[in-house]
């Protein structure tokens, strides 16, 4: 049975735990809780846990390299555990999308996301299935970096559980049904937006 690797991107450390830039980690935590997987073992500069989702063997991973070097850990895990590109799902925050939007893509550029850029560079391809989670608050930002690394606002925290839960559902759908079906089910508009995000 092939092994899936679900890599949620973020920054290690308590000070980053509830920032927009750590949505990938939060989705891995949610998947771990739902499917009884302990993400606690150190392997290839990541915290990992092994288990099953809908009958498929899965490794959940949170790279501990800090965001900009995420690709080092992801590539090392794939090489060590002989995981193919078709078994990789990367989950991360996306400042280009509004808060609450969820977009599954089978390939494409990093669109300015340093963690995804690192993964693309280390794997040498853009053909990587990813779940992008919109975090733009809807107003102009003085500093994107400051926003990414600041605690989530109260209104966002209220919506966070539902958002992270939906992202976990999307990852499960990719694993169980394939990326095309998952895209049809989960690529959705953010609340209040008239058109689907590109």
pLDDT digits (tens, 9 = 90+) for 71-87: 999 999 999 999 999 99
Structure confidence at residue 156 (pLDDT): 77
**Is residue 133 a contact partner of residue 163, using CB atoms and an 8 Å limit?**
yes
pLDDT digits (tens, 9 = 90+) for 14-24: 988 888 889 99
Q: Domains of the chain by range and CATH?
A: 3-186 (3.40.50.1470)
Catalytic residue among 18, 21, 136, 139: 21
- Residue 21 annotated to the active site: yes
**14 vs 84, 94, 140, CA distance in Å?**
32, 21, 27
Burial class (CB within 10 angstroms; exposed 0-12, middle 13-18, buried 19+) of 14: exposed
Q: What's the whole-number average pLDDT of the chain?
A: 90
pLDDT at 193: 46
Indicate the pLDDT class of residue 140, thresholds 50, 70 and 90: low
- Please say if the pLDDT value at position 187 is more than 70: yes
d(CA 85, CA 77): 12
Per-residue DSSP letter, 139: S
d(CA 151, CA 110): 24
């Amino acid at each position: 049975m092939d092994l899936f690797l679900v890599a949620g991107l973020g920054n290690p450390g308590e000070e980053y735990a509830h920032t927009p830039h750590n949505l990938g980690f939060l989705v891995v935590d949610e998947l771990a809780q739902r499917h009884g997987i302990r993400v606690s073992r150190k392997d290839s500069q990541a915290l990992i846990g092994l288990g099953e989702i809908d009958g498929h063997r899965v490794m959940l991973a949170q790279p501990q390299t800090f965001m900009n070097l995420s690709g080092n850990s992801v590539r090392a895990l794939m090489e060590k555990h002989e995981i193919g590109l078709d078994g990789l799902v990367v989950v991360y925050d996306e400042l280009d999308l509004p808060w609450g939007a969820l977009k599954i893509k089978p390939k494409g550029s990093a669109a300015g996301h340093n963690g995804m850029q690192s993964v693309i560079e280390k794997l040498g391809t853009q053909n990587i299935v990813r779940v992008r989670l919109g975090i733009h608050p809807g107003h102009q930002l003085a500093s994107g970096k400051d926003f990414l690394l600041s605690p989530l606002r109260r209104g966002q925290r209220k919506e966070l559980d539902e958002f992270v839960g939906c992202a976990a559902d999307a990852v499960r759908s990719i694993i169980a049904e394939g990326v095309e079906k998952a895209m049809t089910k989960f690529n959705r508009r953010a609340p209040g937006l008239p058109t689907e995000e590109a």
